[in-house]
Structure 1
Amino acid sequence: MSQEENLSVLSRRQFVNASLLGSAAIMSGSSLSALADTTKKFHFELSLAQWSLHKALFSGELSPLDFPVIARKSYDIGAVEYVNQFFYEKAKDKTFLNELKKRCEDNGVVSSLIMVDKEPELASPDAKERVAGVEGHKKWIDAAKFLGCTAIRVNLHGNGTVDQWIKGSAESLKKLSEIGKPQGIRILVENHGGYSSSGKNMAEVMRLANDSNIGTMPDFGNFCVRREVPGDLWKSACVEQYDIYQGVAEMMPYAGAFSAKSFDFDEQGNETKIDFLKMFTLMRASAYRGYVGIEYEGEKLSEDAGIRATIKLIKKVREQLSA
């Protein structure tokens, strides 16, 4: 579905909502009360993050082109979040992008965003590397626009001092926003290792950038700010963990996406390390009502079972918060 079609769908929804509200004025008291109860429901749509299927994709068992088909046919999810690692050489490949777009359209799937990795550091203290980082992200903004996405997700790993990181991050984000804004592409930052895994740091970058086209993508699980091996982002033991609920709360005022990370589940279907009810309570208290991305990253369940368990848990929590 193209971005223009997405806007058309939104316009139709807005018309329907307006009609419902207009009709409410002539309803009986009991009917009006029922409508009020309905409008209080905590509603949002689900999207599927491509990383949830990273094992199948990296092994070649699943083609990146099949991702939107799987999202719809296996899970009845109508929006997807791409990870550029799975088609890194295809950013300018119109044959590939056209086919991916066609498969989305054929299955009624919306392309939400592209998570961009493997480009030069946007938050580096080295100005030349930051310039290279901005240049490296341009092609993904173009690809996102072509696919009908509304955002790209970027990383701010960086190094140097925290002050250097904040200043360099805001500078790079503003440059990317200048490129993305005319194309309708927002620039979103995920808490994704290093300084970016601090909610306080992320909020400070947002305040300094001061641009409505720049936002955050709170992820439930990426709040390790320092690991055992200096400079390591993922492999060694975490020696300094930021409070995950505080971090999400600090990022929510700027949220342009919301990543429901999951790893493992107990017998009741709850995530064993992350209180989903608490996370979604933070979301409900915010203004954000966009897609909630399912990002299963566990080892005990298969990718398919993990995705299904995450969907089930999110739906249970949504029902609890709508009661």
Structure 2
Amino acid sequence: MMKSLLLYMSIVSIIWINTGCTLTKSEEKQQPDVKISLAEWSLHRAIKSGKMDNLDFPRVAAQEFGIYAVEYVSQLFPDNNYDAAYLQQLKDSCERYHVKSTMIMVDHEGNLGDTTEVARQIAVQNHVKWLEAAEFLGCLSIRVNGNGFGTDEDVSAALVKSMRELGDLAKEKGLMVIIENHGVSMPDGSWNMNSFSSNGTRLSQVLAIANHPNVGALPDFGNFADYDKYQGVKDLLPYSFGISAKTFRFDENGEAVETDYKRIFDMVNASNFDGYIGVEFEGDGVSEHEGIKMTKALIEKYWDRIPKEQ
């Protein structure tokens, strides 16, 4: 059904009247050169409370934060779903504010490392609609969760199979499928951060075995649970298509309390990484808006891709 809707939208042209959307010279320079994106989860409180709408995300990223690339979160779409008309509105908003859609972070669509074959296949199929949405929006990738329940060997084997299948589908659409070290929903409904994918050794081994050109990693600074985060980033950097620069709290100097940004960016700077780094504030103590600005400032301070003022 999604394919027929997308076909319909490709036939029916929608005229967008661009009013007052001319880029300033500084914006023209920043947009293509600076690969900083904004993870929508940074604003999940505002969206879930109704203070902000998913469709307004591109405008907020550009006008309030000077960020011209966005990472959507599937669960922040209305009812965790969409139709072609909704996607067109989102695409129009991006075009109006000169924002690049880079990724959809997909949650609650089943465990790709499920050791029950039927459940694993259902999880793979559940992700297809988000690949189609990402293709329509002009994204570069979808982010998936690489978890399951069972022995490491069994979960790993199931996850490798799922990633190869999704990688084949993504290749047809010119997309990447990237795994984030992430928590998992337990059978009782609770959330457990200490999941299969939160271990850098396990996840990097899966990626090495999958060995698919359209499959990669999205290391998140804050989601390694009991595994050393610096080792985890080091494990995943060779496979990284993107990075989530997670923050929770800041000290009086504006540095992240939980993560040594200089230490972690020394590794990023020494690697061959050339993707987007996403601003993802998930803490408290400051507002979402202030947390986003402070996280962006840390990326600009330590990432050598960003030109520094003389």
1:254 and 1:88 map into 2 onto residues whose CA distance is 32
2:120 and 2:254 map into 1 onto residues whose CA distance is 43
1:273 and 1:115 map into 2 onto residues whose CA distance is 23
Correspondence for 1:164: 154
Matched, 1:249 2:234: yes
Correspondence for 1:283: 268
Question: Equivalences for 1:112-191 in 2 at 5 Å?
Answer: 112-191=102-181
State the structure with more CA Rg.
1
Correspondence for 1:197: 198
CA 1:292–1:191: 2 relative to 1, 3 Å:
same
Q: Match of 2:209, as an amino acid?
A: L
Aligned to 2:285, the other structure's residue is in SS state coil
Correspondence for 1:27: none
CA 1:45–1:117: 2 relative to 1, 3 Å:
same
2:241 and 2:103 map into 1 onto residues whose CA distance is 10
2:304 and 2:181 map into 1 onto residues whose CA distance is 27
Q: Which structure's residues are more often helix, by fraction?
A: 1
Cα deviation digits, residues 12-33 of structure 1 (max 9, x gap): xxxxxxxxxxxxxxxxxxxxxx
RMSD of aligned alpha carbons = 1.6
1:312 and 1:286 map into 2 onto residues whose CA distance is 21
Matched, 1:260 2:245: yes
1:199 and 1:92 map into 2 onto residues whose CA distance is 33
1:250 and 1:319 map into 2 onto residues whose CA distance is 21
How far the C-alpha of 1:282 sits from its partner, in A, is: 1.2
The match for 1:315 among 262, 275, 300 is 300
2:258 and 2:209 map into 1 onto residues whose CA distance is 33
How far the C-alpha of 1:318 sits from its partner, in A, is: 2.9
Q: Match of 2:76, as an amino acid?
A: F
Matched, 1:269 2:257: no
CA 1:214–1:320: 2 relative to 1, 3 Å:
closer
Correspondence for 1:36: none
User: Are the aligned partners of 1:266 and 1:272 in contact in 2 as well (CA < 8 Å)?
Assistant: yes
Identical-residue share of aligned pairs (%): 42
How far the C-alpha of 1:299 sits from its partner, in A, is: 1.2
User: Are the aligned partners of 2:269 and 2:304 in contact in 1 as well (CA < 8 Å)?
Assistant: no
Aligned to 1:260, the other structure's residue is in SS state strand
Q: Match of 1:207, as an amino acid?
A: A
Correspondence for 1:110: 100
How far the C-alpha of 1:287 sits from its partner, in A, is: 1.0
User: Are the aligned partners of 1:81 and 1:115 in contact in 2 as well (CA < 8 Å)?
Assistant: yes
The match for 1:59 among 44, 49, 54 is 49
CA 1:177–1:264: 2 relative to 1, 3 Å:
same
How far the C-alpha of 1:286 sits from its partner, in A, is: 1.4
Cα deviation digits, residues 68-109 of structure 1 (max 9, x gap): 100000011010000000115464501110000000000000
Correspondence for 1:79: 69
Cα deviation digits, residues 203-251 of structure 1 (max 9, x gap): 1101110111100000000011xxxxxxxxxxxxxxxx10000000000
- Which consecutive unaligned segments of at least 5 residues does structure 1 have? 1-42, 225-240
1:202 and 1:101 map into 2 onto residues whose CA distance is 33
User: Are the aligned partners of 1:281 and 1:321 in contact in 2 as well (CA < 8 Å)?
Assistant: no
CA 1:271–1:311: 2 relative to 1, 3 Å:
same
User: Are the aligned partners of 1:91 and 1:143 in contact in 2 as well (CA < 8 Å)?
Assistant: no
Aligned to 2:72, the other structure's residue is in SS state strand
Correspondence for 1:214: 215
TM-score by length of 1: 0.79
2:119 and 2:86 map into 1 onto residues whose CA distance is 29
1:92 and 1:100 map into 2 onto residues whose CA distance is 10
Size of the aligned set, in residue pairs, is 265
How far the C-alpha of 1:157 sits from its partner, in A, is: 2.0
Aligned to 1:289, the other structure's residue is in SS state coil
2:297 and 2:146 map into 1 onto residues whose CA distance is 32
Q: Match of 2:206, as an amino acid?
A: V
